A and B are shown apart, each in its own frame.
Chain A
Amino acid sequence: MARRSLSLFKALTKTTTSFSLTPIPISRSVTYMPRPGDGTPRSVTLIPGDGIGPLVTNAVEQVMQAMHAPLYFEKYEVHGDMNRIPAEVIESIKKNKVCLKGGLRTPVGGGVSSLNVSLRKELDLYASLVNCFNLPGLPTRHENVDIVVIRENTEGEYAGLEHEVVPGVVESLKVITKFCSERIAKYAFEYAYLNNRKTVTAVHKANIMKLADGLFLESCREVAKKYPSIKYTEIIVDNCCMQLVSKPEQFDVMVTPNLYGNLVANTAAGIAGGTGVMPGGNVGADYAVFEQGASAGNVGKEKMVERKKANPVALLLSSAMMLRHLQFPSFADRLETAVKRVISEGKCRTKDLGGDSTTQEVVDAVIAHLD
């Protein structure tokens, strides 16, 4: 089931060239046969977060309510200046297994580590996924971009191991393990297989970091052997970024260590329309946290929060991913279709997409376009 709906989603995102003229199909001949009881509302943990977080998560709440989606939110206030994620929030996510979250502010140089990162570590959400694609009707510099960046989320440069060796000399450890490299590679290939993707590209800097990135590549190569139908390629991270800004259509699924994934995902998001529209999430063996795809920790500028003009599209599309993850495929389709219609109509867009709408105006438009 999951495979079918995901590939359908891909088919939907692929219809980029023939926008506005042909309506995006929403009905299909093969329907989803739920198990008895699958319509029981599910509880989902909701973390509105800081800055624009409450604005965009509220957008999702409104749309879910308008759709009568079979889920209800358990809302928890978490803020970036807390020392750690409160235990009850972790408990809630562990119980619900699914969470929707706005960005948490990370204080720079305040000696407090990023809660966005610590949540991923605590729940062992080892894979971060960002889907960067052209939205029909939204003009960008590049066309035919449809890239999925799968990023290792728990180790690498984000290990958080730093110390001052002597005054004026600081060391930071990048840790790469076989275990984590293998499981992210497996997830990337599994994702490609389940979504009918053709190529997986490993991004690295093994010419310089021979051991660390070398281990990552070695793990990817081993896993690649088990998926002969999927093409496996490797690219050095600097060349990757250069290729992204010149020929992004060559990329399909990308698998990366932690930091490179952060950069690659943001670059890919930028060329396809901006971080305000790219969905994504973090997933581990047991739990999934859905958030804005690229720049998930971005809480926006104060002016944007005051004027209530944050773009809710990324989180709305992420919630569609969440609905599909919860096995509510037709709700996911409806939400996605409505969002895409609003974008392709072009009447209601936030500032980052060249419009001047408020978050609420976009939400109202999406609700009006729901079938």
Chain B
Amino acid sequence: MALMQVLRRVLGGSCSTQISSTARAFSSAPAPIKATLFPGDGIGPEIAVSVKQVFQAAEVPIEWEEHYVGDQIDPRTQSFLTWESLESVRRNRVGLKGPMATPVGKGHRSLNLTLRKELNLYANVRPCYSLPGYKTRYDNVDLVTIRENTEGEYSGLEHQVVRGVVESLKIITRQASLRVAEYAFHFAKTHGRERVSAIHKANIMQKTDGLFLKCCREVAEKYPEITYEEVVIDNCCMMLVKNPALFDVLVMPNLYGDIISDLCAGLVGGLGLTASCNIGEAGIALAEAVHGSAPDIAGKNMANPTALLLSAVTMLRHLELYDKAERIQDAILNTIAEGKYRTADLGGSSSTTDFTKAICGHL
């Protein structure tokens, strides 16, 4: 029950119902955990099948509730995502999402924005590690970026003051900063990480980034076992490309997080290999593949399911199914390291199905 206390401390009192329901799910082990699955567009359905197969082979007690993006705008969400889909995630509190292509046109919200707003996904977590056997210019990358996802530079508040002069507002609130900082330290603690670095530009934006730092410091005090440091964003960029091993867990406001998390993905081989998980209020976790839907290779059995698989692994960790998570992650890494079965983007010639079979074989 120590776990429940930790969770309660982190998530606040509002979600006690959620904790008890998770606990119930654990106590009656045979009952499968329900999770929402958005296969998405393009290569999405193929790589989602891959995840389902691997999970089945690993006997993960998860029952998928599949939801597809509709072709009509649901007035309740002002988006192609239906209210039912969102309800499913809210009910299950865990979900996995493939790449989604937001249809071009006006009068609706982008799919990612809808999910973020409706589910209050406030933190984006991306573990980034070098894949053994897949050579990039950087070795020994093992870090986690945690990005505040609801405010900052992406507040969407912009206006033209006079002709030729435009203002864009960056909003930093104490509440959102504390929330993401809490999550970062909680994550560091539960994942055996030693250090949290807050990334900022408080030398220039003294009040906004200053507030962010202040919140991080406050939370850091509650976690004396975790080392806390502050790094200026430009210096962080330079250090990352010179020696990424210097970092452990990074927590940052929205824009910096966007840039740094993609930069880190570049260090280990691109978005096709990067896991990502969004954390929302009341313990919601929506894991996702952050790469595009690649319509050019859709349906050709060529797509690389690694990103979605690794994201699914972060989802299992969130559900505290650690041994399943380890098994599946090891199988993925071993398959890639072995080098016999690799998809085209990693320089191989295997099909999605062969790659998936190889992973199942490595379990």
Contact = CB atoms under 8 A, between A and B. Distances in A.
Given A179-B164, A209-B168, A246 B205 contact: no
A162 B160 contact: no
Contacts of A164: 207
A266 B203 CA distance: 16
Given A162-B206, A171-B208, A263-B233, A275 B166 contact: no
B270 A109 contact: no
B172 interface: yes
A176 interface: yes
Given A109-B206, A241-B259, A267-B241, A176 B266 contact: no
Chain A CB within 10 A, most for which of B168, B172, B211, B235: B168
A209 B169 CA distance: 10
B213 interface: yes
A211 B240 contact: no
Nearest to A261: B234
A88 to B, nearest CB: 26
Contacts of A208: 153-154, 156
Given A209-B168, A245-B266, A246-B270, A263 B173 contact: no
B127 to A, nearest CB: 16
A191 interface: no
Interface string A144-168: 0000000000000110101110011
Interface residues of B, number: 55
A10 interface: no
A233 interface: no
Interface string B200-218: 0111111110110100000
B241 A172 contact: no
A239 interface: yes
A292 interface: no
Given A212-B158, A266-B238, A178 B213 contact: no
B211 A114 contact: no
Contacts of B51: none
Contacts of B233: 262-263
A142 B137 contact: yes
A274 B260 CA distance: 18
Given A174-B168, A241-B237, A270 B207 contact: no
B106 to A, nearest CB: 13
Contacts of A269: 238
Contacts of A177: 164-166
Interface string A169-205: 1111111111100000000000000000000000001
A271 interface: yes
Interface residues of A, number: 61
Interface in A197-240: 205, 208-212, 214-215, 237-239
Contacts of A179: 164
A117 interface: yes
B205 A172 contact: yes
Contacts of B237: 241, 263, 266-267, 270
B281 interface: no
A176 B238 contact: no
A241 B266 contact: yes
A295 B154 contact: no
A295 B203 CA distance: 13
A206 to B, nearest CB: 11
A160 B259 CA distance: 22
B168 A212 contact: yes
Contacts of A267: 237-238, 240-241, 263
A212 B158 CA distance: 7
B191 interface: no
B142 interface: no
B167 A174 contact: yes
Given A242-B262, A295-B235, A172 B170 contact: yes
B234 to A, nearest CB: 4
Interface string A108-139: 11010110010000000000000000000000
Interface in B130-176: 136-138, 153-154, 156, 158-160, 163-175
B63 interface: no
A109 B201 CA distance: 10
A262 B234 contact: yes
Nearest to A105: B203
Contacts of A62: none
27 contacts: A106-B204, A108-B203, A108-B230, A114-B203, A117-B204, A168-B173, A169-B174, A172-B172, A173-B169, A174-B169, A176-B167, A178-B164, A212-B168, A214-B166, A215-B164, A237-B258, A238-B261, A238-B263, A241-B266, A242-B262, A244-B241, A245-B241, A246-B270, A259-B255, A262-B233, A263-B233, A294-B238
Interface of A: 106-109, 111, 113-114, 117, 141-142, 157-158, 160, 162-164, 167-179, 205, 208-212, 214-215, 237-239, 241-246, 259, 262-263, 265-267, 269-271, 274-275, 294-295, 297-298
Q: Which 6 interchain pairs have the tightest Cβ spacing?
A: A178-B164, A168-B174, A270-B241, A242-B266, A212-B168, A238-B262
